[in-house]
Each structure stands twice: as C-alpha cells, then as structure tokens.
Structure 1
Amino acid sequence: MRVCGTGFLLVFTILILTLGTQAQKTKRTRKPLFKQFTSKSTTEATTITSPIPPDIPLPKITMPTTPTPTTSTPTTPPSTSTTTPSTTTPSTTTITTPTTTTPPYLNDTTDIIRDNIVSYTYDMKKQANIMHLSRFAANQSFYRLTNYSLEEHFSCGYKTISKNSQGRYEKNSINKEIEIPITNGAALPSNTEAIITSCRTSKGKVLQIGPQTFVNLKNQTKRQTSKKKRPNVLMIGFNGMTQTMFSSAFKEINLERWFKLQKFRRIGENYTYNLMALASGYSPSTITNLESTASVPFIWKQYASQGYVTALGEDISFIRDLSLDFKEQPVDYYLRPFLQGISDSVELRNNTPSIEKLLTSDYVLDYGEKLLKMCVNSSQPFFGLLWTNTSTEKAKENNFVDYFKRFEKLGLFKNTIVVFFSDHACRPFLNIRLPDWFRKKYPTKIRNLAVNNNRLSSSHDMYLTLQHILELGKDSPKKLSKIASCPTCKSLFEEIPKNRTCQSASQSENYCECADYMKLSAKDAHQLPLGVLLVESLNQYLDQNKLLDICEEFTLNSVDSVYERKSYYRSRLRSYRVRFLTQPHMASFLATVYYNLIPQTLFNVNVSSFLRLNRYVDQSKCLIDDEKRKFCICRKEKTERSLRKDRKPISNVTLEAKVSAPTRNISILIDNLLEKVEELEKNSLLRRQLIKEEILSIKKLLATSQAPPS
C-alpha cells in the first residue's frame, strides 16, 4: 500500500512538472545572448573574426516610407520602461533575406568591435558615402539594454548637421532638422559632411544614437603655383603632454627618425596663446586684444594661396576656450561646426550622458584619418592642423597608437612633413619628421634642424619654419620676412645662436625658464614690497618713454599671488613671480623679477617682459606702438601733469614767501601736494615720507599765519 501511494505521488509530481514546462513555453524566456544562436544558415552570414558566433538570430529591419521626426528618452529595462508605442506608425517593408537588388549587410570586424549599427564605405565612382546597416550590432545593442535578443523590427534614420552660407553652424539648427530614413546600401548626398544617426525598435526603444563626420572630395582644383615637388604638412597637437608622456604613450612608434626640439618653450600663459602664436606669429598681448580674425595672417591662408588644400580640426574644449570665432569658414575642411552641432543635439545629449568625454580626440583623429584617405596620395598638396586636449591616460585608452599605425599604412610619411607638438606649463615638446626625399634634397637645412634640437626655440620659430617650407616649394624662393612679434626669431631650418636668450626668442621670463616656484602665504607675501616696487617700475617706464602726458600713472590695487623660485643656495637675490592688479581700470599684470633682500629693491628689471593679462585694446587707443600700448591707459583729457612731474620740492624760503600770500593760495598748494600723494601711492616709501613732511610744515605755517597777534 505504501509502495502504491509513493508511486501515485511520483506520477502526480511528474505530471505537474510537465504541465508547468508546457505553460512556460507560451511565455518569453530570459535567455543569455549566446544561447540564442541556432544552426540555421542564412544567406547574410559571413565569416567574421569575433569571439561571438556569427549565426545569431538577426532582427528584421523596417524602413519607413515617410520621414518621421522623433523624440527619444533615455533607455531603461523592459520592467521599468515607460515608453509607449506610437499609435500612428509609418508603413513599413520587412526585409527577411537579401536579394540581388539589395546590397549585402556589412559584417565588418571593425564595426562589430565598435558596435556601429550604421557604418559607411566610400564609393570612389559615385564619390559618395554608402550607408550599411548591421543586424548583428542591432541585436547586441538590444541585448545590452534588455538582456533579450531582438526579435522585433527596427529602423534607422539620420539628421544632417548643416552650415550656413558663411560655413558656420547656427545654434539649435540640428534640433530643427527632419529625420531621413536610412535604406541599407543607400548613398548620402555628396555634400553631406556630418550627420547624427538614430536607430529604434518598432516600439520606440532607442538602440543607438551616434554622430558621424565625413571628408568628401570637393571640386576645388586650385591653381598650382610651382612645378617643384612640394610636401604635405600635418600638425597634430596635444594639450598638457610632455615629451616623456608622449614617448610612453607612443612607445610602439619608432621615434628615432624624429627631430626632437628639447628646448622648445611656450610664450603665453595657456595653450590658446601658444597655439595661436604658432598659427599666426602673433604675441599673446596681440592675441588678447584682437577684435576680429579677418586680418590675422594665419598660416593656412598662406598655404591656401599657394594651391594647398587646407584643414583644421580641434576638439570641443578648444572651441570653448577660444573667444574668437571665424566669420567665414577659414579652411577647406573645417571640423568645428560639426562638433558644435553634435554638442547642440538635444536627442544625442539625452541618450548619451557622457557626451562631453566623447567630443575629444576620437572625432579629431577620425577626421584626420578621413582627410588622409582623401588627400595623402593626391597630386594636390594639403596642410592640416589638428588639436586635442586629451590627456596621456586618455591617449592610451583611445588607442592613439592604432590611429598612427593606420596613418602610416595610408602613406603619411612618404610625402608629408609631420609635426607632433604640445603645450605644457613647464615642458612642452615639438617633434618633427621629414620625408626621405626632403632630407636628401636639403642637407644643410637638415643639419641646422639637428643643431637646433638643443637650442632655445618657440612657437614663433615654428611659424617661420612653416613659411620656410612654403618658400622652398616655390620656383623662386624669397627670403623670409621678419615678424613684428619677434624680429630675431628664425626658421628651424636656419641655425639658432647658441647663446640665445628668452627675450630674443620672444619668450616672456614668466614661461621661458622651467623652474619650480613655490607659492608664498598671504602673510609672507604681504611682508615683501613687491607690488609697490613693480608699480613704481611701470611708472618709470612711462616716464622714460615720455608717456605720462597721455597715459595714466599706475597705482597698486592688490597683489593676487607671489611665487618664489626654489633654490638650494642662500642668497640675498631671490626670483619671484608676481601677479598684481593696478588702478585705473583694474589692469592685471604678471611679472618675474629678481628682488634684493638687503636694500629691498628690484634688480635689473625689464618692464617689457611684464605680461598684461586682461584686454586693453579699448583703453590704449591713443598709442600705436603695440609694445607700449599694454602699459598705457589713455587719459580722458589733457592735464598739466607734464609741468607738475618735474616740479622740485618746495624749500623753506619758498614757503616763507607763501605765508604772506592769501590763505586760498596756501590751500591750493596743500591740495596739489595731497593729489601728488594719492598719485604716488605706495610707489616710493622715501618720497612719500618727504611729501608728508612738507605738508606738515605747510599746515604749521598756515596755523601760525592765521593765529591772532599777541
């Protein structure tokens, strides 16, 4: 009986389990991606080098017949999703297998690694970019979002990032664009330079949103100005990177054939000044006070005038730091408007929280790679300048080396002068690589460049070098013209003097010597009369240059910071770097000076090396000389200051003569002396004390003269 009961219970349990299993089959099961592969072959499957098997069930693709603007929200798992399918959907056509009229889907290894649902190839015959849809990438994207394989339809579309007639991006224009549906194998219009694609399921779930830029062949054959063989020029800059950092990040690249300018120094406080100096030959003060870029002699303008194709690409951080903008597109291929459109896209920002991190080197180097594919083997030479703020660690993460390996495979070094450079607070670098034919053709210039590896150099020298390259490519080369910002600067193909100083390289003492400075506490800084002495030096400069008649005399407002140079030797002569504010108009200066502790004086002051940190162009219109303008705040009206400045101290005899004069004359004399005290505020402790003694003497005499007779 017990056996029968046990057998009955066993049969009943098996029956319940069987019914439960059949019931579960009617529901959607949660299975890992790798469990979804089937052995069913498809005509689309191709052999791919990937750890994921290629026979995954692929989703169906739908292509809307009408453009449909969409608004997306951040994607969430199905259990918490609030996305509701639209009640009105466009008619769709389902593609289950490819036909002879439909191009095959792209299953490229690179695109699978990058997970791009939409990818592109360039058709040289059509001179257009062809769009491809990857079902594999769509399935991967859906699984990462939901942990399910994609069994429903999906569709993709794109919005074009456009420019106005001046080649500029107009704010919010990307968000007004109508989305155009993507058909697999379709060609983009030949004038398309940037788009933002979006892919969704039929229920509205966002699978992927991504921007893409293009470098298209333009019908702009320029007049060739020379029959000589001319090299391409490509400059790639990195902000905040040193030579050691660069060598570490690019250790897989052979740098033996590169010229390394070991004493390359910056000329300004930040990379905007240094990059602009390299591109224009201008000094930091000139750059600060530019009102427009129309008249700036940018180096790419000069290359364009000699028949070069020109390109400029910088990441989004440079766009924000540079206060100036170009009124018209400055070069043939210009990345900036498209990065502005990418940054401006509401749809992209809503679905990409880390969009700020993406707008860096990836886009710049991708753009550079596309430029090389289009131009590196062309009969028409090109000039390109690329700049990124990516750090060293980010450089390693982003596989910079892979980019440059691809650059080399494209033939970059065969006919291109390549310049790697950086802006770093203390240790910037400049590396140059020349084509073999260029080395053989100009041996003397190569020797000079090798000698200059250990000579002091600056961005102005590199600017002249770029001009020199242009001249060498001319049928009748001319001697290089001097630049106003640095008359003694030279092309790096000319030997730089061994005893070159910072001043002769147009480098401020504030940045030329790479030394360690320690910030002083507010208490220690207050004990030093550096601010007073520096303002006195400024006023002496105005006096020596006979500018006091038209320029206001400075008074000290405050000392912002004082840095002392670290030294292993005890000396009365110390080096300080001082940032201070003056009146009128809160003029801001930065100066590096030597201070003698015992007599409490400055030693060998060079006022010309002082940097004016804020804009002053509107305050110094009474002067033409660019060097003197930064030290001048024009007077609103002419005064008798030129007469008063040479006035000698009043003697006792003169004071006694004044006693007999009317009282009002003595009052005027007091007012003049008080004004003199205010104007010379803190400029000289000794002079101030003497003037105060004079005032006290006058007041005493005045009191005596007004006292009733005894």
Structure 2
Amino acid sequence: MQEFGCTANLHRKIFFVVFVTSVSILMISYYDSTKLINTQMFFTTPENESTNNGTKYLVSTSKCKIVDLDPFSKDAKRYFKPLKYKSCSQHRLLTYVTKEDNISTLNVDKDLIPVYTSKDVKCCYSNVTRFVPTNNPDSSIKISDCKTFSSKVQILTDAVLVKCTESRADKKIYENVHTSVRITDEVQKKINNTDNGAKLPSVLFIGIDSISRLNFLRTMPDTYKYVNDHGWLTLDGYNKMDDNTFPNLMAIFTGYNQSRAYEVCNPKVAGMLDECPLLWFTYGKLGYITAYGEDEGAISTFNYNKKGFIKPPADYYYRPYILATEKLPKTGLNGMNYCTGPETAGERILNLIKDFTITLKDYPTFGIFWMNSFSHNEINSPMMLDNKVKLTLEELGNNGIYNNSLVIFLSDHGMRFGDIRLTETGWLEERLPFIYFSFPADFKEKFPTEYNNFLNNRNKLTTPYDLYMTLQNILVLYKMNYTVSGSDACPNCTSLFAEIETERSCEDAAIEQHWCTCAGYTETILDPTVHKSLSTFVEEKLHQITSNTSRGGGDGKCAKYIVVEFISTRLSHKLTYKSSTYILVSFKTEPKAVFEMTIKYDGDIRLGNFTSSDISRLDSYNGHSKCVDDAFLKKYCYCIKSRERIFLYGMLIVFL
C-alpha cells in the first residue's frame, strides 16, 4: 500500500509538471501567434542611415528639421499593397431622391425592378428622426411605421428608410436609407437675415481619418493629381499636436489642448459640448449655414466614449442619418463598416458633401464632413475610394463651389498602429497628416499680402492651432463683427495668413516632444544597466496611468505591465538651441502590448534622471480594454478579466 501510494504521488507529480509545461507552451504559443507587430523590424540604424549631406527636408531651420522621405521608400514599399474599389451591391440602387423647388422626392426606379426580381414589388418608407433620451442623448433615433407608396413620395424628414419586398411572399429584396438637403424654415430665416451683398466665403472641411502626407501620395494618386493640377496649396510642415482625432480637431475648432478641452467642454458630461466655444458655432451665429456629418457612428469624434450633443450642433446634422444606415445589413472591412446597405459608408459622406454645398452654394456655409470607414484601420485601404474622392472634388468644381469657398482637405494624423509604425517612415507619418487648401477664386486679388504669407508658410512648422487662428482671421478679413481670440494652448500661434516665424520650434508651436518631428532619431545600443533603469521607469509610468482613479482606473481593473523586450532604442539628433537629449523607446510588455515613449534626460543617461511626455500604443487594444470607458485609459488598460479568460481557455485546451 505504501509502495502504491508512492507510485501514485509520483504520477501526480509527473501529471502536474506536464500540465504546467503544456499550459506554459500554450500561453507562449498564443502570445506569439497573436502578435500584431513584427518585433524584428527596427528603425534606421547608423549603418544604413543617410548623412545630412544630400538629405532633403520639408522644413529646415536651426530649430526644426523635418526629413522629406520618399513616399515609396524601402520601408513603405514593404507594406504597400494595391487595392481596388469594392461595390456594395451587384445592381444599381433601386431607389433614389430627386429635388425640385426645395421639394425632395423619394423615387422607385421601376425599370430596375426586373433586375431585382421577376415578381411584383411593393415598397414602403419610414421616417427617421432624432430621439434624445436622458441617458444617451446623441445616439438614438426613432423609425416610424413603414408606409406603403407606389413609385414616389415626398420626403418631409431629414432621412427615410425604404424597404421593398415581393408583393405576395413578403420577401425583402431591397432596403436603403436616403437623406436630402431641404431649406428648412429655420435656415430660410438665417438666409433672410444675411447680407448676401457681402459675398462671404463658405468654409468646407473634407476630412479623411488616419492618412499621412506620404500615404496620401501613395494610396490616393488620382485625388493627389486633381488637387495638384488645380493649384491646391499644401503645408509640408503641418504637425499634429496630439494622438488621435478628438484633440487634433478640438485644437482646430477651439484652440484648446486636450486637457483644457476636457476642462471646458468635457465630452463625458451630457450638455457640455453644446456649450463649448466651437468655431462653427460662432460662424453659425454670424449667419453661416452649418453642417456636420461623419461616418462610423460608434467612433465619431464627439461620440466615442463621449456623450455627444444634446441639441443638433449644426443646421444640418447627419448623425441620425448615419445611425439609420448602420441598421441596414453591413459589410465590414478591417473592422470598419465599409458597406451600410447597398452603399459604402464613405460614399454616403461624399454624397452629403455634394448635396449640401451645391444646394446652398449661393449662401455662406460652414461644413464639416469626416470619413473613417475606409481609412482608419488599414494603411492601404484609402486606395479603394481614391477615384470616388477625386470625382467628388471634380463635381464640386464643375458646380462652381470653389469660386467662393475656402476648402480645407485634411487628415488628423497618419496610421497610429501596425507594423509600419516600427519603421522610420511610420514614426514620421503618424505625426504628419496631409492637408490641402483651395482658396476662393478672388482671394489672391483681394488679399495679396495674406495670400503671399500663406505661400511663405508652406515650408514652416505649422499646427492645428494655426488653423484655429486662420478660421478666425477669415471673419476679420471679411469684416464680420468678430474679435480674434488667441489660442489658449498656443499663445504664440498665429494665422496662416500672417507671417509665421521661420525659426520656430515645437515648443513655440505647443507641440509636445513626443509628437514633434523636428529632430530625427538614430538607433543606438544602450548599456544593460540603462535598459534596466528605463524598464523600471516606463513600467512605473504605465502603472500611474492605469491606476488613475479619476479616469476610471484603479480597483484592480487593469493589469500591471512588465517590460519583456525593448524593440528599439533611439537617440534624438541635437538641435543647436537645445541642451536636452531624448530617447525614443519602443517596447513589448506582458500582458501583450506594444508601446512607444519619448523620454527626456539631461547629462549622463546612466544617472537615470528621466522625464517623459506622452506614450503611444502601437498595437490594437480594443478587444481587451472594455472594462474601462475613458477613451484615454483604453489605450493603456489591459483588463485583468481578459487575461483570466486567456488563461482559462488555455487550461481548457489542456484538459480536453
């Protein structure tokens, strides 16, 4: 019996060792197989880095040198994959909208019915209206009962949902959502009270998320050729001021940085954005007809982990329309809603741009239209709608929109995550979004000094704060009753129509060092003791963020990170006016994440006197940060429950 007991104990020990080993192997295998970033990729090394001789620069001063990289550099070409447009329907749309004398009519194209079915068809429509519940003021809509119509019906609300079925079988063959710009009574009052003799210029923002200056040249050649051939002007040194869309757009429309924007316009509190001093509100009060439309309702600038607006923030607010389209069958692409029903989400925004600007081209308008669906998650996907964007810009030109409009065609930043972010071009591209301007036809003659100043500013360091000052300057140039306010975040920033200092640093332009492209970096090998002190430093910084109770951290929600590998360590190039040195570190952690941090130090790096600015997240984090609601914290939190699920899944596999 004693011998049997010893044998049993031995068997239990062997089973335990095998079990632990199996689980460990499984966890390591899982960790490696789900890597989103190839950690063998390094930034430029001293051996293959170009010297300053012959290097081209977008901006070149003693305070700022931004390298002019080839859009098809070796780094970029590794990730370049041509993509073609994908239609969301095999057939032309069965329904369409016509407009005459300010009356919008929904029509059924009866000639197309045989393409959809050989049976008789009946169609009905539902009115889509905005619904404002107390708990979710900006993300709810009402859809009325579906009313049958024969071949056409007048549209009386902002949007309609149409469904068509086979008459007898009630088999659905088609559904879509339509909207149309009608001049409402409120807009007509604004038109009546505006002095049309003043010939105020319209302002139109056309934005596409996550496209750098270089990736615009690579992936949207048709659109680039159009703006280049038609004399649109770009800012080569336009540097983002923060990580993602919200702070960069708030800098443009309020002059605030992110912390001040949350203080004054806290988007997490219902009603605060309604009271925010957004510049398009100012334009609206001065008689401009305003519009705001953005695809991808879940991640819209003012709604992603935010409360949005209680009141419609513009005369034409297209969020209810977009929310209704997302109730149609969707086709995803790279985690985004590429198709909403029979149309691409991006083309829906392009159609809104045309409808709004062409319908109201005789009146001063301020429109903001933003697209995420075909650009946000994949660096090559903008290619798919390149020609569609070009055709939209072309149609605006054919309809005379550019004659009296300042059009600002831009992005907020480049691609923020993925393999390319661990390359030299990826680091630079994230921080340098594309931006182009089309000026009213007579602007150069009316304001020659301002126009020449803009030309001279094209190769200087510029920021979203400068654009904020420019939008105010327009009101003054056209003699509106308005007094310019300085940017709260950047008191030294000025209008692009004024002469910007040539010797301008990131500090002068209120750009934190982490986002600054004025000094390049060179890969370096650090002493093991320095690596250890850096590991401790970055772990402590991450823990400070994830345990911040004011942002919803703490309470054991987020795991504590441990640095398991430095992917890259790079030292900043010296600028003559600076004594400090910066080290840019990219590192992998457990739990699985990839980060990038810019760390400042003075003197000997071995002393470990480190201070840091912001921290970038270089891999996707949406799947394991759902235990927190704060948009900032989501980038850093790895929910402990997510880790537990992975571990339990591993044990289940072993037992099975």
Contact 1:516 1:565 in 2 (8 A): no
Q: Give 1:324 deviation, angstroms.
A: 3.7
How far does residue 602 in structure 1 lie from its aligned partner after superposition? 3.9
Say yes or no: does 1:122 pair with 2:95: no
Pick closer, same or farther for the CA change 1:224–1:568 going to 2, 3 Å. closer
Question: Which residue, 353, 360, 364 being the options, matches 1:368?
Answer: 353
For 1:63, the equivalent position in structure 2 comes to: none
SS at match of 2:403: coil
Q: 1:502 to 1:135 in 2, by over 3 A?
A: same
In structure 1, what is the equivalent of residue 151 of structure 2? 184
- Check conservation: 1:138, 1:207, Cα contact below 8 A: no
Change (3 A) 1:558 1:116: closer
Superposition pairs of residues 275-286 of structure 1, within 5 angstroms: 275-286=249-260
Cα distance, 1:370–1:453 mapped onto 2, change above 3 Å: same
Whole-Å separation in 1 of the counterparts to 2:257 and 2:460 = 21
User: Larger relative CO (CA 8 A, sep 6+): 1 or 2?
Assistant: 2
Gaps of 5+ in 1: 1-109, 143-149, 540-556, 581-587, 614-710
CA 1:602 to 1:242, structure 2 compared with 1: closer, same or farther past 3 Å?
Answer: same
2:171 paired with 1:171: no
Q: Distance in 1 between matches of 2:490 and 2:562?
A: 30
Note closer, same or farther for the CA distance 1:230–1:236 as it changes in structure 2 (3 Å cut): same
> What is the CA–CA distance in structure 1 between the aligned matches of 2:572 and 2:609, rounded to whole Å?
21
Q: Secondary structure at the match of 2:247?
A: helix
Which among 499, 507, 530 is matched to residue 511 of structure 2? 507
**How far is the alpha carbon of 1:337 from its aligned partner?**
2.0
1:529-608 equivalences under 5 Å are 529=534, 532=537, 566=570, 575-577=582-584, 591-594=598-601, 596-597=603-604, 599-602=606-609
CA distance in structure 2 between the aligned counterparts of 1:462 and 1:158, rounded to whole angstroms: 43
Give the match for residue 175 of structure 2.
Answer: 209
Deviation at 1:590, TM superposition (A): 6.0
**For residue 243 of structure 1, what is the aligned residue in structure 2?**
213
1: CA distance between counterparts of 2:535 and 2:332?
Answer: 48
Q: 1:141 is matched by which residue type in structure 2?
A: Y
Post-superposition shift, 1:233?
Answer: 0.5
CA offsets 1:289-345 (integer angstroms, 9 cap, x no match): 5242133210111101111000111111542535241121111011112212332x3
Query: Counterparts of 1:440 and 1:481 in 2: how far apart (Å)?
Result: 27
C-alpha spacing 1:342/1:441, structure 2 compared with 1 (3 Å): same
- Counterpart CA distance in 2 for 1:459 and 1:186 is 45
Instruction: Give TM-score, length-normalised by structure 2.
Output: 0.62
Q: Secondary structure at the match of 1:186?
A: strand
From 310, 317, 332, give the equivalent of 2:290.
310
Question: Any conservation in 2 of the 1:168–1:329 contact (CA below 8 Å)?
Answer: no
Shift of 1:506: 1.2
How many angstroms does 1:437 deviate by? 0.8
Corresponding letter in the other structure for 1:471? V
The 1:611/1:532 distance shift into structure 2, 3 A limit, reads closer
SS in structure 1 opposite 2:165?
A: strand
Question: What does 1:463-482 correspond to in 2, within 5 Å?
Answer: 463-474=468-479, 478=483, 480-482=484-486
Specify the alignment match of 1:133 in structure 2. Answer: 108
In the alignment, what sits opposite 1:487? 491
- Distance in 2 of aligned mates of 1:119 and 1:160: 15
Query: Out of 286, 300, 306, which is 1:323 matched to?
Result: 306
Alignment partners' CA distance in 2, 1:589 and 1:335: 36
Give 1:208 shift: 0.9
Corresponding position of 2:404: 415
How far apart are the structure 2 equivalents of 1:245 and 1:413?
25
Structure 2 distance, partners of 1:520, 1:204, is 70
Distance 1:439 1:113, change over 3 A: farther
SS of match in other structure, 1:414: helix
Shift, 1:568, TM fit: 10
Identity of aligned residues (%): 22
Offset at residue 155 of structure 1 (A): 0.8
Residue matched to 2:226:
253
**8 Å contact 2:138–2:308 — kept in the other structure?**
no
Decide whether the 8 Å contact of 1:253 with 1:401 is kept in 2. Answer: yes
Q: Measure the CA separation in 2 of the matches of 1:153 and 1:226.
A: 51
Gaps of at least 5 residues in structure 2 are 1-86, 415-429, 545-559, 588-594, 618-656
AA aligned to 1:397 is: M
Segment of structure 1 superposing worse, 363-372 or 421-430: 421-430
Equivalent AA in structure 1 for residue 165 of structure 2: R
| Residues 245 and 577 of structure 1, relative CA distance in 2, 3 Å threshold | closer
- 1:231 equivalent among 170, 183, 201: 201
AA partner of residue 404 (structure 2): N
Distance 1:568 1:500 in 2: 18
Aligned AA (1:381): P
Deviations, residues 60-113 of structure 1 (Å, cap 9, x unaligned)? xxxxxxxxxxxxxxxxxxxxxxxxxxxxxxxxxxxxxxxxxxxxxxxxxx9999
User: CA offset at residue 530 of structure 1?
Assistant: 6.8
Report the alpha carbon displacement of residue 430 of structure 1 after superposing the two structures with TM: 1.7
CA-atom RMSD, angstroms? Answer: 4.0
Render the CA deviation track for 1:352-403: whole Å, top value 9, x for unaligned.
6789212531121111111012111x2x300001111232754443321111
2:495 alignment partner, SS class: coil
- Bigger drift between 448-457 and 385-394 goes to 385-394
* Separation in 1, partners of 2:150, 2:382: 35
Q: Which residue of 2 aligns with 1:458?
A: 463
Give the structure 2 partner of residue 15 of structure 1: none
Taking the aligned partners of 1:532 and 1:568, their CA distance within structure 2 comes to 19
Alignment-mate amino acid for residue 95 of structure 2: V
Higher Rg: 1
Secondary structure of residue in 1 paired with 2:206: strand
2:125 counterpart residue number = 158
Task: Evaluate the alpha carbon distance shift between residue 612 and residue 357 of structure 1 in structure 2; reply closer, same or farther with a 3 A threshold.
Answer: closer
| CA–CA distance in structure 1, aligned partners of residues 244 and 307 of structure 2 | 15
Partner Cα separation in structure 2 for residue 159 and residue 296 of structure 1: 34
CA distance in 1, matches of 2:124, 2:351: 22
Tell me, in whole angstroms, the C-alpha distance in 2 between the residues paired with 1:437 and 1:559.
Answer: 59
Q: Determine the structure 1 residue equivalent to 2:364.
A: 381
Q: Distance in 1 between matches of 2:432 and 2:246?
A: 16
TM-score between the two structures when normalised by the length of structure 1: 0.57
Q: Cα deviation per residue 1:123-153 (whole Å; 9 max; x = unaligned)?
A: 21xx2212222233222223xxxxxxx1x21
SS in 1 for 2:290: strand
Deviations 1:191-242 (A, max 9, x none): x111111111121222111111221112232233795331000011111212
Structure 2 counterpart of 1:196, from 146, 158, 161: 161
Cα offsets for 1:166-206 (capped at 9, x unmatched): 996663633xx2101122233222xx111111111121222
Distance in 1 (alpha carbons) for counterparts of 2:573 and 2:477:
50
Q: In structure 1, which of residues 270, 286, 310 is the aligned counterpart of residue 244 of structure 2?
A: 270
User: Once the 2 structures are TM-superposed, how far is the Cα of residue 154 of structure 1 from its aligned partner?
Assistant: 0.7
Alpha-carbon distance between aligned partners in 2 of 1:381 and 1:288, rounded to the nearest angstrom: 31
Aligned to 1:41: none
Q: Deviations over 1:477-522 (max 9, x none)?
A: 64x321211111111111110111111111111101175688999x
CA–CA distance in structure 1, aligned partners of residues 151 and 277 of structure 2: 46
Q: Which has the higher strand share?
A: 2
